[in-house]
């Protein structure tokens, strides 16, 4: 039986984008930082991270893999829904992808952004971006966005599995993988990591609902609960931040993961699992800021450290996303469809509330966002 995802004609996988080679790095960074106050020195530094990887970010191939995995899961369930891919900061740009989709007759698009948590960077900036694309392509095109998925069981389950696999590497020599995971986790400290944002962006994210930091704390608590139940190991955890940018005088969320690892070492911690719950795939922030910098910091302090994988294309994650897509489509058809979540915060609304997730607390820019949530 063919099931439809009506009223949607296509699913747009919308991501950040990244350079595919050395010549892309500068223009990509210019796209990202247009209108933002980022010092030249920071840009140079980030450019070097990319050049160190041959000028190529892993993010585009990771998004293609996610697209293929979503396609396969939709097919497996017999759902007819084209999946297309577009980015905010690099080719293929969202507006070009949507123009093609429109040429094939698509009128109503559901967007999945590769950002699990709601803040300006992970939510409103995408809604501004999509509104700009729609303004270019015409009002017949209707674009919706899926609610944040940080507390979807599939996303949380994928992270739990990745942490257990990493813990098993810490516990090598304990026997079977389950025993090794428990042994590795026992006495360990899990450092959950996400992207730092300016304090004023955090405050803005908390204005109409639970804020960015609170969303991560909710995931941390839920993961701790799942991991303790599955392993009976005794462990601690905390939330730290990576990849701060901007003017050094402007406060961003802390502790920085490297400072935090130093503090843990001073407090006698000897083994850690670094769990990048703030990221959906192992892109540059993970490959450089965690795998190169944070792991080196741990080594310098004599701490054994492993980095857990991201949700990426784990079946639990992909399947959870498809559930969310089908639920949203059902609600748009006027059918009753629940929005199940884990943790304490509950489902975020399908349409972001007016005034949510501004760039800075107290700031109103008047930049258009998607229909339904204009200020």
Ligand X SMILES: CC1=C(CCC(=O)O)c2cc3nc(cc4[nH]c(cc5[nH]c(cc1n2)c(C)c5CCC(=O)O)c(CCC(=O)O)c4C)C(CCC(=O)O)=C3C
Q: How far is the CB of 278 from ligand X (least distance, A)?
A: 6
Return the HEC string of 212-255.
Answer: HHHHHHHHHHHHHHHHHHHHCCCCEEEEEEECCCCCCCCCECCC
- Binding letters toward ligand X, positions 43-82, x by CB under 6 A: ---x----------xxx-----------------------
Tell me how far apart the alpha carbons of residues 205 and 201 are, in angstroms, rounded to a whole number: 6
Q: Is 234 annotated as a binding residue?
A: no
Site membership for ligand X, residue 42 (CB under 6 A): yes
Site membership for ligand X, residue 195 (CB under 6 A): yes
Closest to 321 (Cα-Cα) out of 67, 107, 108: 67
Q: Is 51 annotated as a binding residue?
A: no
Tell me how far apart the alpha carbons of residues 43 and 48 are, in angstroms, rounded to a whole number: 9
CB nearer to ligand X: pick between 90 and 235: 90
Q: Is 129 annotated as a binding residue?
A: no
CB nearer to ligand X: pick between 20 and 231: 20
- Binding letters toward ligand X, positions 284-323, x by CB under 6 A: xx--------------------------------------
Closest to 361 (Cα-Cα) out of 175, 207, 145: 207
Closest to 268 (Cα-Cα) out of 244, 242, 302: 302
State the number of binding residues for ligand X (CB under 6 A).
27
Considering only the stretches 117-125, 180-188, 254-262, 346-354, report the one whose residues sit in contact with ligand X under the rule CB under 6 A: 117-125
DSSP state at residue 147: P
Closest to 247 (Cα-Cα) out of 31, 49, 43: 43
Site membership for ligand X, residue 283 (CB under 6 A): yes
Site membership for ligand X, residue 38 (CB under 6 A): yes
Tell me how far apart the alpha carbons of residues 278 and 289 are, in angstroms, rounded to a whole number: 13
Q: Is 195 annotated as a binding residue?
A: yes
> Which residues sit at the interface with ligand X, rule CB under 6 A?
16, 18, 29, 32-33, 36, 38, 42, 46, 57-59, 114-115, 119, 121-122, 195, 197, 243, 245-246, 278-279, 283-285
């Amino acid at each position: 039986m063919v099931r439809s995802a009506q009223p949607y004609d296509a699913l747009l996988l919308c991501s950040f984008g990244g350079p595919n080679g050395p010549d892309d790095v500068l223009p990509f960074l210019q796209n990202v930082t247009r209108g933002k106050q980022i010092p030249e020195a920071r840009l140079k530094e980030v450019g070097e991270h990319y050049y160190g990887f041959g000028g190529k970010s892993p993010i585009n191939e990771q998004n293609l893999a996610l697209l293929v995995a979503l396609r396969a899961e939709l097919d497996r369930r017999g759902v007819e829904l084209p999946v297309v891919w577009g980015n905010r900061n690099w080719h293929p740009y969202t507006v070009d992808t949507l123009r093609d989709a429109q040429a094939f007759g698509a009128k109503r698009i559901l967007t999945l952004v590769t950002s699990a948590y709601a803040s300006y960077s992970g939510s409103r900036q995408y809604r501004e971006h999509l509104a700009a694309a729609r303004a270019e392509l015409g009002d017949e095109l209707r674009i919706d966005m899926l609610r944040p998925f940080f507390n979807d069981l599939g996303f949380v389950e994928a992270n739990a599995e990745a942490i257990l696999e990493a813990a098993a590497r810490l516990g090598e020599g304990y026997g079977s993988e389950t025993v090794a995971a428990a042994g590795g986790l026992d006495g360990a400290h899990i450092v959950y990591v996400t992207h730092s944002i300016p304090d004023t962006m955090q405050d803005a994210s908390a204005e109409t609902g639970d804020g960015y930091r609170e969303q991560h704390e909710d995931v941390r608590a839920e993961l701790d609960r799942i991991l303790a139940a599955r392993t009976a190991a005794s462990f601690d955890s905390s939330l730290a931040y990576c990849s701060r940018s901007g003017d050094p005088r402007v406060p961003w969320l802390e502790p920085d993961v490297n400072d935090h690892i130093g503090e843990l070492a001073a407090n006698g911690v000897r083994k850690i699992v670094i769990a990048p719950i703030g990221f959906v795939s192992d892109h540059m922030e993970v490959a450089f800021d965690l795998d190169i910098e944070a792991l080196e910091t741990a080594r310098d302090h004599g701490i054994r450290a492993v980095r857990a994988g991201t949700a990426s294309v784990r079946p639990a994650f992909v399947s959870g996303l498809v559930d969310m897509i089908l639920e949203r489509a059902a609600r748009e058809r006027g059918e009753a469809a629940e929005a199940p979540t884990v943790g304490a915060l509950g489902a975020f609304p399908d349409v972001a509330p007016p005034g949510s997730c501004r760039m800075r607390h107290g700031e109103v820019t008047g930049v258009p966002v998607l229909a339904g949530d204009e200020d």
